[in-house]
Amino acid sequence: MRYVGMQTQISRNNRMTLLLLLMFPLIILGVVWAFFALLNYFGNGYYDQYGELVHQFNAETVNVYFVNAVPWVIGVVGIWFLIAYFFNASMVRAATGARPLSRKENPRVYNIVENLTMAAGMDMPMINIVDDPQLNAFASGIDRKSYTVTVTTGLLRLLDDDELAGVLGHELTHIRNHDTKLLITSIVFVGIVSTVMSIIVQMIYNMMWFGGGGHVVSSDDDNDNRGSGIAVVLVLIIGYVLCAIAYLFTALTRFAISRKREYMADAGGAELCGNPLALASALRKISGDPGLQGVKRDDVAQLFIIHPQKLSAGGAMSMLSSLFSTHPDTKKRIEILEQF
C-alpha cells in the first residue's frame, strides 16, 4: 500500500482548521443576535382593541444591544479558546486518565515509536498510557511540544509487535497530517457549546421552578402571570434555538473532519510499519473491545482509533450521528487493508 497525498491532506486540514476558527465566532455572534431579537420581539408587545397580543420587532434596538455585546462575547470566547488551546494536553489527559509512560517502564513501545518516527522523518512525540483493559489508542496535540501518542494497557497486552507498530504508525500519521490540530480545535469549540447549553438548561430550570424572580410584582395579577408565562416561553425558545445550533455545529465539525482522514491514517500506518495485514489484525482485535472505561465524552472519543459506539446517541439522534460520523466502518477499513 503506497501512502500518497500527504501534503494535500496537510493543506486541506490546515484550511479546515482556519475555516472552523472563522466559522465558530460567526455562529456564536449569530446566536447572540438571535437572543436579542427574540427578547425584543417577545418583550415589545401590546394588546390591540380586540384584546389580542401584538408583538413588535425593532431591529435598530436589537442592533444597538448586539453591537454593545460583541466585544464581551468575543472576549469571553477568545479567553476560553486561548486557555483551552494552550492547556489542551492536560485537558485530554484529565478526560482520559492518561499519564506519561517512561522508557524504563516500557522500552518496547519507545523502540517501536522511535523506529517509526525515524522512518517517517518526524520528531519523537510524547508517549502516554491509560491503565485500562479496553483496547484503544489516539494521537493528540497542536504543536511539537504537545504532540502525544496515547495507548491503553489492554492494547499493549493483546497486540504483538507488528500489530502495535501498525496502530502507532496510524497515530503518527494523524500527527504528520495535522489531523490532531483539527480535532483539538473541534473539541475546544464543542466544549464551549456544551457549556452554553448547560447554562441555558439551568436558566430554564430556574424559570420553571422559581419564576422570574427579582422583579417588582404588579398590582395587576393577570398581566403579571401573562408576563411570567411569556418569559418562560421566551427562555424555552432561546434554549431550543441554542441547542439546535449547538448540535448543528457539532454535526458540521464532525462532518468537516472527514472520514477520509482515518483511511489516510490507515494507509500511512501500513506504509510506516510495512505490514498492512498487521494493522488490519490490530483493528479487528480493537473492534472487539474498543473504548476507555472512564471516558464518557463523545468529543474526546473522536480521537480514538476506533470510536466506541456506546458513546453515540440513541434513537433518531443515532441515525444523525452515523451520518456525521468521523470514523468509517471498521470492517470496511479492514477490507481495504487486506487488499494489499
- Which residue carries 468537516 as its cell? 256
Is the pLDDT reported for residue 102 higher than 60? Answer: yes
Q: What does DSSP say about strands 137-140 and 148-152: parallel, antiparallel, or unpaired?
A: antiparallel
Q: In sequence order, what are the residues at sequence separation of 6 or more whose Cβ sits closer than 8 angstroms to the Cβ of residue 264?
A: 3, 5, 6, 9, 173, 177
H or E element at residue 150:
strand 148-152
Lowest mean pLDDT among 5-9, 98-102, 224-228, 240-244: 224-228
H or E element at residue 110:
helix 107-120
Instruction: Give the per-residue pLDDT at 155.
Output: 95
Q: In sequence order, what are the residues at sequence separation of 6 or more whose Cβ sits closer than 8 angstroms to the Cβ of residue 168?
A: 109, 112, 113, 116, 137, 149, 151, 269, 273
The band of 158, judged by pLDDT with boundaries at 50, 70 and 90, is very high
Instruction: Give the per-residue pLDDT at 324.
Output: 57
Instruction: Give the per-residue pLDDT at 127.
Output: 97
Instruction: Give the per-residue pLDDT at 168.
Output: 97
Closest CA relative to residue 301, chosen from 337, 283, 325, 284: 325
Is the Cβ–Cβ distance between 284 and 334 less than 8 Å? yes
pLDDT tens column, 223-279: 555 555 566 666 667 766 766 776 677 666 666 666 678 888 898 899 899 999 999
Average pLDDT of the segment spanning 131-152: 92
Lowest mean pLDDT among 48-52, 154-158, 295-299: 48-52
Lowest mean pLDDT among 43-47, 48-52, 84-88, 207-211: 207-211
- Which residue carries 500519521 as its cell? 173
Is the pLDDT reported for residue 166 higher than 90? Answer: yes
Instruction: Give the per-residue pLDDT at 283.
Output: 95
The C-alpha cell at 302 is 473522536
The model's pTM is: 0.74
Domain layout of the chain by residue ranges = 1-340
Between these two residues, 125 and 197, which has the higher pLDDT value?
A: 125
Between these two residues, 90 and 20, which has the higher pLDDT value?
A: 90
Is the Cβ–Cβ distance between 132 and 152 less than 8 Å? yes
Is the pLDDT reported for residue 203 higher than 80? Answer: no
The band of 110, judged by pLDDT with boundaries at 50, 70 and 90, is very high
Contacts 24+ apart (CB under 8 A), 155-164: 155/286, 156/106, 156/108, 156/109, 156/129, 158/285, 159/135, 159/282, 159/285, 160/278, 161/108, 161/112, 162/273, 162/275, 162/278, 163/278, 163/279, 163/281, 163/282, 163/285, 164/108, 164/109, 164/112, 164/282
Is the pLDDT reported for residue 5 higher than 60? Answer: no
What rounded mean pLDDT belongs to the chain? 78
Mind telling me the catalytic residues? Answer: 171
- The full length of the chain comes to 340
Instruction: Give the per-residue pLDDT at 314.
Output: 45
Q: What is the rounded CA–CA span in Å between residue 293 and residue 60? A: 52
Is the pLDDT reported for residue 210 higher than 70? Answer: no
Instruction: Give the per-residue pLDDT at 339.
Output: 85
Q: What is the rounded CA–CA span in Å between residue 67 and residue 47? A: 30
Q: CB neighbours (10 Å) of residue 229?
A: 10
Instruction: Give the per-residue pLDDT at 218.
Output: 45
Closest CA relative to residue 166, chosen from 249, 91, 275, 294: 275
SS3 per-residue string spanning 70-97 = HHHHHHHHHHHHHHHHHCHHHHHHHHHC
Is the pLDDT reported for residue 211 higher than 60? Answer: no
The C-alpha cell at 174 is 494523524
- Could you tell me the CA-to-CA distances from 322 to 68, 185, 254 in Å, in that order? 40, 21, 10
Q: CB neighbours (10 Å) of residue 99?
A: 12
Instruction: Give the per-residue pLDDT at 113.
Output: 96
Instruction: Give the per-residue pLDDT at 189.
Output: 72
